[in-house]
A and B are shown apart, each in its own frame.
Chain A
Amino acid sequence: MFTPEKMSFVTLASPKNNLEKAIEVLYDLKLLHIDPHRGQDLPIGTPLPDAEALSRLSLDLGFVTSHLPPAAEAKAMDLREAERLVATLKAQVAAIVAEREALDQQSATLEKRVKDIAFLRATGLRDPSLLAGSRRLTVMAGIATAPRRVLTALRSLDVEVFSEEKRKDGYPMVVVSQAEEGDKVKAALAEAWIPYAFDHVDQNPGVHEKALDAVAARRKALDARLAELRKAHGKELAGCRRLLRERIRKAEAPLRFAVGEHSFLIAGWVPTAQTAAVQKQLGGLPSSYLAVEDALDGPTKLANPRAVRSFEFFLNLYSLPKLREIDPTFLVFLSFPIFYGMMLGDIGYGLALYALFSVLRWRMPKYRGLFDIFLLSSIFTVVFGYVFGEFFGAEEVLGIPLVPFIHRTHDVNELMLVSLVFGLVHVNLGFVFGFVNELRTHGLRKAILAKGSWMLLEAAGILLIVDFFFGMAFIDRTIGFGVVLLSVIMLFLGEGVIGLIEIPGLISSVLSYLRLAAVGLASASLAIVVNTMADDLFAAGGAFLAIGVLVLVMGHAINIMIGLIDAFLQSLRLHYVEMFTKFYGGNGKPYNPFGR
């Protein structure tokens, strides 16, 4: 529970003709995290012979599935079936797609024609043959965005202007002038003019629309055909995809193995508890050699009880522990909801959030783990709400008064003291974990010097503070200072100068837990403000009643949102920044076995 699962390092050496069999066995076992061979001594292997054909098939499948998305459910397929299906579908889909493209082009041309006719009609020009211009006449078509300015600019020139209807973007206009004045006209128009290019104008209103309808109908039929194909083959396509993914992974596996002229070598990690299965399965390969040894280094597979597992989320977000490092998930499981609950601490808010996250957990099964964290945190919010005697900021539930054990807005000093105690315990748990980590990796001496020194320093420091500030002497001051000096020397020996630099950091780490009281105080104060505002409105009566309800609902909703985010982030921060830094190394690689 406190360490990632134990791993064994497995090496298999075998004649080359066993390669495919070994890959099959390992794929089905789904246990070996391959240690990729990097090409020292022996070259890396080449993909299995069918890899190229599989890649090509996969490419074709990619084309087909880009138009026919596979179904969620997959039908089991073999390679022959997959090849046949992909070949037929590829031909059909390609034909449909090509026709669809042609139709799209056709419809674009037709739409342009319809637009041209409409434009011409708006200018009022009756004879489209004029648009072509001639040696003597220059014809310009466009949209005048500021018609008055255009007309003023054209006044001194010998032109004829056609324009009848206004459209949203301006006045469609055709300007006809003598060819020699064309440049002057162009200059005059430049200011408020969007040129319009005609494609082809004929006088067949209605024909193009009809043609467009036909194109659209045909396109719809093609889409329906695609949908039909998808419905008919969706499951098979999903099966193809799964099959190909598996086959390609198998075919490309030798790229991570060492393969010589006559033999190959596979190395990787297997959870120690499962080595027997690997030995049994691979033992069947003729004239092979299999070595299994305890791994000191390797991939990390967190091993926590089911209830705790959702909290592994925090480690995945941060960084996984190394194979032989402490896995703090269980501690996070214990302290995260407590910190969260202490900061939010309100029976009403806890119940509201519990309801909200129950619904979300049910609606979004993908994030179930995260919502489990929130649900547990909500329970602790209710618990601390009872301790603080708060229900939506009020000190009563439905007329029954709540008796707070600690009143958050009155007993601020007591609450801060409790926070500091939590902080001391939490930070010291970090040191204890660090001690164990050092003990495992560097031995007892280093553990005492590097982590024991911190705890010693803390103990002496607290006793001296109690002595100086509260007049309670438990030890002689000389001894106290002596111990402080001793622990500082030990710290220097254990962690070097960095350790000395971090001494003030220890104080700020512990004081940082004051946020448990501070964030809660802010949240409680906001709730009280909302309630007071609403009470005043209720007292005013009449129309204010409705506003009061609105203030109450909106105010508490906003406060819950703020509290939710703040409590989550602050609690997370206390773990990551204040506690993990005392022991956590991280940088572990996730265990990712071949075949899964």
Chain B
Amino acid sequence: MASELVPLAAAAAIGMGALATAWAEKEIGSAAIGAMAEKQELFSKGLILTVIPETIIIFALVVALQIVGLAAA
């Protein structure tokens, strides 16, 4: 594989992961805020549900790092 594509591949991995996370959190976050407006006690549940998709971007970062690492090896 042409080595100049490696950084692009890593960037694509993390970029798409970031978009996916953002999209998911947007959906959950707006619903959570709506629920919180109705019921203050739902704050913690809302917070937890909102940050669940954070895992996607963490995995994306790991994949990006692996792409760079494997290409270097």
B-contacting residues of A (Cβ < 8 Å)? 317-319, 412-413, 416, 508, 511-512, 514-515, 518, 521-522, 569-570, 572-573, 576-577
Contacts and interface: CB of A to CB of B under 8 A. Distances in A.
Query: Which secondary structure dominates where chain A touches chain B?
Result: helix
27 contacts: A318-B44, A319-B44, A412-B65, A412-B69, A508-B55, A511-B55, A511-B58, A511-B59, A514-B58, A514-B59, A514-B61, A514-B62, A515-B58, A518-B58, A518-B61, A522-B61, A569-B51, A570-B51, A570-B54, A572-B47, A573-B48, A573-B51, A573-B54, A576-B44, A576-B48, A577-B48, A577-B52
B51 A521 contact: no
Interface in B33-73: 43-44, 47-48, 51-52, 54-55, 58-59, 61-62, 65, 69
Given A318-B44, A515-B58, A577-B48, 16 more contacts: A317-B43, A319-B44, A412-B65, A412-B69, A413-B69, A511-B58, A512-B58, A514-B58, A514-B61, A515-B55, A518-B62, A522-B61, A569-B47, A573-B54, A576-B44, A577-B52
Given A317-B43, A317-B44, A319-B44, A577 B62 contact: no
Contacts of A573: 48, 51, 54
A291 B23 CA distance: 58
A36 B63 CA distance: 57
Contacts of A413: 69
Interface residues of B, number: 14
Query: Which secondary structure dominates where chain B touches chain A?
Result: helix
A511 B66 CA distance: 15
A534 B55 CA distance: 33
Contacts of A318: 44
Shortest beta-carbon contacts, A-B, top 4: A573-B51, A515-B58, A318-B44, A518-B61
A577 B69 CA distance: 30
A416 B59 CA distance: 12
Contacts of B69: 412-413
A521 B61 contact: yes
A171 B59 CA distance: 67
A109 to B, nearest CB: 43
B67 to A, nearest CB: 12
Nearest to A581: B48
Contacts of B58: 511-512, 514-515, 518
A318 B45 CA distance: 7
B55 A512 contact: yes
Nearest to B55: A512
Interface in B2-55: 43-44, 47-48, 51-52, 54-55
Contacts of B51: 569-570, 573, 577
A291 to B, nearest CB: 34
Nearest to A509: B55
Contacts of B55: 508, 511-512, 515
